[in-house]
Amino acid sequence: MHDKTLTELSASLAAGEFTSRELTEHQLGRIERLDGALNSFITVTPDAAREAADHADATRARGDAGPLTGLPVAIKDLFCTDGVLTTAGSRMLANFVAPYDAGVVERLKAAGTVSLGKANLDEFAMGSSNENSAFGAVKNPWDSTAVPGGSSGGSAAAVAAGLAPAALGTDTGGSIRQPAAFCGITGLKPTYGRVSRWGIIAYASSLDQAGPMARTAEDCALLMNTIAGHDARDSTCVARGVPDYTAELTAPLAGLKIGLPKEYFGDGLDPAVEAAVREAVTVYESLGATVREVSLPHTHYAVPAYYVIAPAEASSNLSRYDGVRFGHRCENPSDLVDLYKRSRAEGFGDEVQRRILIGTHTLSEGFFDAYYKKAQQVRRLIRQDFLDAFQDVDVLMGPTSPTPAFDLGAQKDPVSMYLQDIYTIAVNLAGIPGISVPAGFVGKRPVGLQILGTHFAEQRLLNVAHRFQQATDWHLRRPELAEENA
């Protein structure tokens, strides 16, 4: 069963080939046997999953089943889930049981999905390798010596290894797309405001966006039909109609205009990654697309602008974790100040503390105008670069990451780690959608092709990605771990 895509599983359930309970037991068994080598889950919820599967089977028996009814999913442990441990990958929230569901979790439950558990992540979504989790690093299913990417590395690894057919992730600077690329799956970062952020533990509020991670663009479209849409509880969520994201998947690509940003093919790009991406572009040309070089002139400012804005917002968002209201509390504090200091020092990991300090500094008197205000001005320029480019082309294409997955422990310098997101960060600053699809390998490590569109162009991106997957088989490749039939 685990070799099927989400769409194929939906069809199999509808045809009565197996029940949701049987499918759920199969996935839970694989998690129990295989996840010890991956560490992709922080919390597995077998009892709740079986109950949800039985409810889905009863719903199907009544004739009320929808496309997602009875399908198992993994939820990144950044989404509040009622009655389930919700840690954000941090010791600070190691004992926090959420009292409500995040907006997208509500939607998935209402659609009849079965949550298998909460996937591992970089602490508070801060990282590009999933090595920053307080619950241990996640390993890449293709190569256990490599990282799976981050921060949604647990979600990506679970899907790639066949532990779950799909997962929810969040993307603040590439945290869906980069792990999707590293693990050889498909990951969509929607337009900012397209999917509710209500109930997602915040990292950087103007950048965070939830999205689907699955094997194929078709699967991501199926999930988007459920999770996209307005949520009045999220003031940043756009009140805009939701199209059927599966309706235009097979539309022809004749006449599609593709732009290749010259800034995405310069120094620092692994030649083997570039070769795979350019080969993918030739596939699009064979499907009737035309290709031209474009420029995004402010691209080289994206990383410094992001690492001013995101830490500043993190500094504000994480100030609530003080050892008083909820979360980790130090033992035997001598006074209130000691309580604050030791609770935060013990609860937060090194990378989170580093970003809090950076953010607090940039927001402080005397530095706000020089750093934060200037970064926001650069952000507007980056957004305008994309808008200008989309006047001439329909989509942009390039590598998702400058390298394939790197070795666990290889990136010792925080700045080197930050540069792993060089092709993804600008997308969040501009608020546009992006998708990463499998496009080849360097050795046995996958390569991702990133496809970008203008605001609310998810339907077009899914169409462009799906047609590529109809013409290639990279998304059908499975790591050895996923080939185990038991």
Asked if residues 17 and 34 have their Cβ atoms less than 8 Å apart, the reply is no
Residue 186 is assigned to a structural domain of this protein: yes
- How far apart, in whole angstroms, are the C-alpha atoms of residue 122 and residue 74? 16
Residue 150 is assigned to a structural domain of this protein: yes
151 is catalytic: yes
Q: Provide the pLDDT confidence category of residue 7 given band limits of 50, 70 and 90.
A: very high
pLDDT at residue 177 greater than cutoff 70? yes
Q: Which of 155, 175, 315, 401 is catalytic?
A: 175
Segment 163-169 shows an average pLDDT of 98
CATH classification at residue 179:
3.90.1300.10
20 is catalytic: no
Give the tens place of pLDDT for each residue, 62-89.
999 999 999 999 999 999 999 999 999 9
Residue 176 is assigned to a structural domain of this protein: yes
Q: Where do the DSSP E strands lie in 414-480?
A: 434-442, 445-452
pLDDT at site 486: 57
- Residue 230, exposed/middle/buried by CB under 10 A (0-12, 13-18, 19+)? middle
pLDDT at residue 484 greater than cutoff 80? no
- How far apart, in whole angstroms, are the C-alpha atoms of residue 41 and residue 134? 12
Segment 195-217 shows an average pLDDT of 98
Q: Which of 10, 40, 151, 152 is catalytic?
A: 151
Asked if residues 161 and 138 have their Cβ atoms less than 8 Å apart, the reply is no
Residue 113 is assigned to a structural domain of this protein: yes
Q: Provide the pLDDT confidence category of residue 416 given band limits of 50, 70 and 90.
A: confident
- Tokens 């995040």 -> residue: 102
CA distances in angstroms from 282 to 51, 205, 405, listed in the order given:
48, 38, 24
For all residues of the chain together, what is the average pLDDT?
96
- Residue 250, exposed/middle/buried by CB under 10 A (0-12, 13-18, 19+)? exposed
pLDDT at site 419: 85
Per the structure, the count of domains in the chain is 1
Segment 34-62 shows an average pLDDT of 98
Give the tens place of pLDDT for each residue, 370-412.
999 999 999 999 999 999 999 999 999 999 999 999 999 998 8
> Structure tokens of 33?
């046997």
pLDDT at residue 158 greater than cutoff 80? yes
Residue 347 is assigned to a structural domain of this protein: no
76 is catalytic: yes
Asked if residues 294 and 452 have their Cβ atoms less than 8 Å apart, the reply is no
What angle, rounded to 10 degrees, do the helices at 20-34 and 6-15 form?
A: 140
Assign residue 210 a region (left: φ > 0; alpha: ψ between -120 and 50; beta: otherwise).
beta
Residue 79 is assigned to a structural domain of this protein: yes
Question: Is the backbone peptide bond immediately before 416 cis, with ω within 30 degrees of 0?
Answer: no
- Residue 268, exposed/middle/buried by CB under 10 A (0-12, 13-18, 19+)? exposed
Residue 334 is assigned to a structural domain of this protein: no
Asked if residues 434 and 296 have their Cβ atoms less than 8 Å apart, the reply is no
Segment 331-341 shows an average pLDDT of 96
What is the domain range of residue 137? 6-254
Residue 348 is assigned to a structural domain of this protein: no
Higher pLDDT, 413 or 175: 175
